[in-house]
Structure 1
Amino acid sequence: MRKFVFLASLFLSISFTSSFAQNAFDLVVVKTEGKGKNLKIVSGSEKLLTDRNAYDNQPSFINEYQLVFSAADEDGNHDIIVYNFESDKFTNLTKTADRSEFSPSITECGQYIASVVMEADGTQRIWLYPTNFGEPELLYDDIQPVGYYDWYDNKAAMFILGEPNQLVYAQSRGNILTLDENIGRSIKRRPKTDQITYLSLDNPQELSEGSALELQAYDMKEKNKSSLGKSLPGSGDFIWLDKNTILMGRGNQIFSRKWNDNIWNKIGEISIDSHQNISRMAYSPDLDVLVVVMERINQ
């Protein structure tokens, strides 16, 4: 897999014992065993990676041993933090007082960490932060407000906030393709395919566990849209373990299913008394760990 080393070492500027925010989120690490459809959570292996009454969210692996996420500081600004599983150290990739960085991820070229940046005037666009700590670059100056995104052919498929929300793809400068609208916030390229996948908010199926949404796939080569079945009822975030296996969480439980099978199978549960409601997730097959976001319970 792609591997790089950060050339500078900055210390995490936020205390993981500080207390200032409500509706706080933490990152929880849990060990896994098996791969793909056979993945299981190792019971009792869960531990808090972050533990503070603040916003630590949107994790993404950038190589086999480093994770990035968005974290709020004591002033309410959000920075990109890198966690190294080998050294067990946190590092600030950004420390900006005039803007906030969200949804960090590695670009396909491996030279940048991309982020949705809320700029000083409230504009939301994608910026690129060099992995060698060079000066950041604006990716698309005229595409905003961006909420979320993923990559295909070194270009971004983006969730654009609006009424309704839209899924667009930057084919080239001046050629912005609208792929769909009224979509959920999870946008994921299906591994080893040409498909951008997302949840449609049209025609939800109301069940006792919550709404089940249609998982849609837009094929970037064929230029067509297809259905990959229903989401886990009551859940709006998903990831792909591989091109055949989808993972979603609900409450404190985690489920998986094959892309062509609507049966969701429970693969484990995370038991932490201080936290509930799994949302975003990131998986490392090299480390055999799953990182999940959970909401703190006010006690």
Structure 2
Amino acid sequence: MKKLLQLLVIMIPLAVFCQSDTEVYLFDLSTENNQIQLTNGKNISNNEGYDNQPSFQYENTILFASTRNGQTDVISYATDSGKKRWLTDTKQGSEYSPTSIPTTKDFSAIRLDTTGLQYLYRYRSGKGKALLKDLVIGYHVWNSRNILVSFVLDEPHRLVVSNFKKNTHLTMDTNIGRSLHNIPNSKLVSYISKKNATWEIRSLDTKTGETKKIANTVPNVEDMCWLADGTILMGKGKALYRFDPKKDTEWKIVKLFDKENFDNITRITANKRNNSLVLVAEKEKELKPTLENIRWIAGNWKGEAFGGITEENWSEPSGGSMMATFKLIVDGKVNFYEIETISAVNNSLLLRLKHFSNELKGWETKDETVDFPLIKVTKNKAIFEGMTFESVDENNMVVYVAISQKDGATSIVPFYYKKTTN
């Protein structure tokens, strides 16, 4: 058992921390009229290799882990000036997960030494001091200046509350995820429980140890952040989801980053004023806009949407195009049909479709089509203006469709499909 734990200490941090080509992106955030707007996005790390785990030290100062010269150090970024400043330079190791310590100018970080030792350190003026040497901490959040909530590497991973005044370290739950956050307007902390097949966001009272379910996560997503109004954000792929525990029953997509050159969103954080949002994602690699590169769309697909059953059948590429038929069945009756094509046009791709009633009466005029010009093609996505196809795996696909609402807003509706053999 001791040897296995030692192996976990060495191997798990490497698996967690050594991601390839992640970047940190900053957006201006607006939440007026219950609508989320993200504008003026920019890559603030702009660095080859690992850039991750951002947090706000102050309203206008972001800390994150960034790789340089073969090691990972903590860097700060000033949102008002764009200036960067390295805060650590540890030759014997690397730092991860920088987190501000409340009511101080100090921050803490996970230090992984070249010897394989992994401790939580406190940093002040570039100098670090180990805080805990009895717990192998992977992730953490300060609930107050003296109360620390940690993801502790173990079998299984443990949720531990450390009280530095009382020198106690109590396990509150097990089999948890890495995302730990203070819940706005409360003294509670949220964490991700992975005990069940459907992961849960739960709250923890650090004084009593009481935990309560808040909501299910977006499927298989563990990174999240809270906004000041008590809503939760989670990212998956290129989509940003929102959930209000007070009134929502399901997650809603509030932003699809179809034009941005990143994918696979993970960490998300916002400052307290909620005018800045930071997220981490992987750089996106574009492919040539050819039918061959989106051949994975071909097949017979079935799913659910708009309170009914959807069917979408795409042909293999031939003759410079792919063709599909679509129908929506509600309460056992066809609601409407579509005919769709994706054609090679002017060294790009163009998606066209026409709608028909259940009696095959066209919605559009005789020569009119609804057109979706291509934005780009990636390894697992075909992104058109207003419609994105995403390959989840060989037998699962999601189609995100932008639908205009009566109030002028646009909602993103996901169609979850499974490939069928008939």
TM-score (norm: length of structure 2): 0.59
Higher RCO, Cα 8 Å, sep 6+: 1
Which residue is equivalent to 1:124? 118
Encode CA deviations 1:129-152: one digit per residue, 9 max, x unaligned: 11xx15322212322x11000112
Which residue is equivalent to 1:112? 106
Q: For residue 184 of structure 1, what is the amino acid of its counterpart?
A: G
Deviation at 1:249, TM superposition (A): 0.6
Mapped contact 1:46–1:270 kept (Cα < 8 A)? no
| In 2, Cα distance between equivalents of 1:246 and 1:264 | 9
Could you tell me which runs of 5 or more consecutive residues in structure 1 were left unpaired when the two chains were aligned: 1-20, 206-212
Mapped contact 1:62–1:105 kept (Cα < 8 A)? yes
Encode CA deviations 1:175-221: one digit per residue, 9 max, x unaligned: 2100100001111121232222111111123xxxxxxx111111123
Mapped contact 1:275–1:296 kept (Cα < 8 A)? yes
| In 2, Cα distance between equivalents of 1:26 and 1:159 | 24
Which residue is equivalent to 2:36? 40
Which stretches of structure 1, 4 residues or longer, exceed 3 Å deviation after superposition?
Answer: 271-274
Q: Tell which deviates more after alignment, 266-275 or 82-91.
A: 266-275
Say if 2:27 is the partner of 1:30: yes
Secondary structure of the structure 1 residue equivalent to 2:265? strand
Sequence identity (%) = 27
Secondary structure of the structure 2 residue equivalent to 1:242? coil
Gap change, CA 1:134 and 1:274, over 3 Å in 2: closer
Which residue is equivalent to 2:158? 166
Cα RMSD over matched residues?
Answer: 2.1
| In 2, Cα distance between equivalents of 1:202 and 1:162 | 15
Which residue is equivalent to 1:233? 219
Q: For residue 179 of structure 1, what is the amino acid of its counterpart?
A: M
Which residue is equivalent to 1:139? 131
- Equivalent runs, 1:207-246 vs 2, <5 Å: 213-242=199-228, 244-246=230-232
Mapped contact 1:246–1:258 kept (Cα < 8 A)? yes
- Equivalent runs, 1:144-293 vs 2, <5 Å: 145-154=136-145, 155-172=147-164, 174-205=167-198, 213-242=199-228, 244-260=230-246, 261-272=248-259, 274-286=261-273, 288-293=275-280
Hey, which of these two has a bigger chunk of helix by percent?
A: 2
| In 2, Cα distance between equivalents of 1:127 and 1:181 | 23
Mapped contact 2:64–2:98 kept (Cα < 8 A)? yes
- Tell me which of 61, 69, 75 is aligned to 2:56: 61
Gap change, CA 1:42 and 1:153, over 3 Å in 2: closer
| In 2, Cα distance between equivalents of 1:92 and 1:271 | 32
Q: For residue 150 of structure 2, what is the amino acid of its counterpart?
A: M
Could you tell me which runs of 5 or more consecutive residues in structure 2 were left unpaired when the two chains were aligned: 1-17, 287-422
Mapped contact 2:30–2:274 kept (Cα < 8 A)? no
| In 1, Cα distance between equivalents of 2:260 and 2:208 | 47
Deviation at 1:22, TM superposition (A): 7.2
Q: For residue 249 of structure 1, what is the amino acid of its counterpart?
A: G
Q: For residue 222 of structure 1, what is the amino acid of its counterpart?
A: T
Q: For residue 27 of structure 1, what is the amino acid of its counterpart?
A: V
Mapped contact 1:278–1:295 kept (Cα < 8 A)? yes
Which residue is equivalent to 1:71? 66
Mapped contact 1:232–1:248 kept (Cα < 8 A)? yes
Which residue is equivalent to 1:89? 83
Mapped contact 1:185–1:237 kept (Cα < 8 A)? yes
Encode CA deviations 1:12-63: one digit per residue, 9 max, x unaligned: xxxxxxxxx972100112222126x8251336x3222222331110011111
